[in-house]
């Protein structure tokens, strides 16, 4: 598969760079003449769909991993993102939602008719997670240590600071990921005397063994489409503690595959972590229940089959024959 990188297409909003990215995307689609353009992410999804419309691409699909507008944003920013997403959705033949909550929120936000939105889970190579081996020796973490970990980009809304504040005495923290919030979280851990390991950015193939090094995954995100790291931890057999927001409740079944606590409640987060670490047998049982529930639901072949079927329906509807 050929990969084309557009350096102008970056996460941060930049009118000049974004306009250039739009121009280059439209030119790429006009030259390649694809039958389908499938976009992901918020800003890239908006620019990609606009470029596909300019280039008259027959079928446009977008995957909604999380809406770009959410509670807590300044209302002008929230309104602007809603307007852009609404306009892009009008030029989209199907929106794939990674969870039922994302579908409900999209319909509630009036982004399009209900039939435009279809739930297809993100595919995971589950065999890699089921065969994971703990990376504690490489990290210098003793086998008998209690470890609570977090796997996420280190950004403010991902909430790593809440885990530091909630860390029970004697529990080591393992942070996997990098980002603009890392320095703040490291300083907070040092100030509170919390023992923590920060891996920084890692290759995707390292994630299973890093999850296996944890006794519990903590996902204190303030907004989330569907926490992929939570599903991956359950496939490794590790229970999950998460804030009860958005799609988290679709994989963290309270009392069965982990614990859900009110968003931002540090005391409740601490109690949930202590409850799981204090009863290792119950924690293992939650992890195994999660593995049993989700090994088929997130299996990449099943996701590929559903996505392929959606492509086929859309192509036939647009008059393109599918062989």
Region 147-151 average pLDDT = 97
At 189 the pLDDT is 96
At 162 the pLDDT is 97
Domains of the chain, CATH where assigned: 15-123+300-317 (3.40.50.2000), 126-294 (3.40.50.2000)
Give pLDDT tens digits for 84-130: 999 999 999 999 999 898 999 999 999 999 999 999 998 899 999 99
Q: How many CB atoms lie within 10 A of CB 216?
A: 25
Asked if residue 254 has pLDDT above 80, the reply is yes
Q: How far apart are CA 284 and CA 271, in angstroms?
A: 17
Region 285-303 average pLDDT = 91
At 223 the pLDDT is 83
How big, in percent rounded to 5, are the helix, strand and coil portions of the chain? 50, 15, 35
At 13 the pLDDT is 87
Q: Residue 192 in contact with residue 198, Cβ under 8 Å?
A: no
Q: How far apart are CA 274 and CA 49, in angstroms?
A: 46
Report the percent of the chain where pLDDT is more than 70. 99
Asked if residue 136 has pLDDT above 80, the reply is yes
At 323 the pLDDT is 65
Region 232-238 average pLDDT = 96
Position 135 confidence tier, pLDDT thresholds 50, 70, 90: very high
Structure tokens belonging to residue 133: 């081996």
Asked if residue 81 has pLDDT above 70, the reply is yes
Give pLDDT tens digits for 57-76: 999 999 998 888 877 788 89
């Amino acid at each position: 598969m050929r990969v084309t990188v557009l350096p102008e297409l970056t996460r941060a909003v930049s009118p000049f760079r974004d306009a250039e990215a739009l121009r280059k995307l439209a030119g790429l689609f006009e030259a390649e003449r694809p039958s389908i353009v499938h976009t992901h992410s918020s800003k890239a999804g908006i620019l990609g769909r606009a470029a596909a419309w300019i280039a008259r691409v027959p079928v446009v699909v977008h995957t909604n991993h999380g809406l770009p507008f959410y509670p807590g944003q300044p209302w002008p920013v929230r309104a602007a993102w809603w307007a852009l997403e609404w306009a892009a959705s009008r030029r989209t033949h199907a929106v794939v939602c990674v969870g039922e909550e994302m579908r409900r929120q999209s319909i509630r936000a009036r982004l399009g008719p209900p039939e435009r939105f279809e739930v297809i889970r993100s595919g995971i190579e589950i065999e890699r997670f089921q065969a994971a081996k703990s990376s504690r020796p490489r990290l210098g973490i003793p086998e008998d240590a209690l470890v609570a970990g977090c796997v996420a980009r280190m950004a403010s809304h991902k909430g790593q600071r809440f885990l530091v504040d909630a860390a029970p005495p004697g529990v080591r923290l393992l942070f996997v990921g990098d980002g603009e919030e890392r320095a703040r979280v490291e300083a907070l851990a040092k100030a509170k005397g919390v023992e923590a390991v920060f891996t920084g950015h890692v290759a995707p193939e390292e994630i299973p063994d890093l999850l296996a090094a944890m006794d519990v995954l903590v996902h204190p995100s303030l907004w989330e489409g569907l926490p992929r790291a939570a599903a991956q931890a359950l496939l490794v057999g590790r229970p999950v503690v998460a804030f009860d927001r958005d799609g988290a409740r679709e994989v963290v079944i309270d009392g069965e595959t982990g614990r859900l606590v009110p968003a931002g409640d540090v005391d409740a987060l601490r109690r949930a972590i202590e409850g799981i670490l204090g009863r290792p047998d119950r924690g293992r049982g939650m992890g195994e229940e999660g593995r049993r529930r989700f090994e088929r639901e997130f299996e990449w072949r099943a996701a590929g089959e559903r996505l392929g079927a959606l492509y086929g329906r859309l192509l036939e509807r647009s008059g393109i024959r599918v062989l």
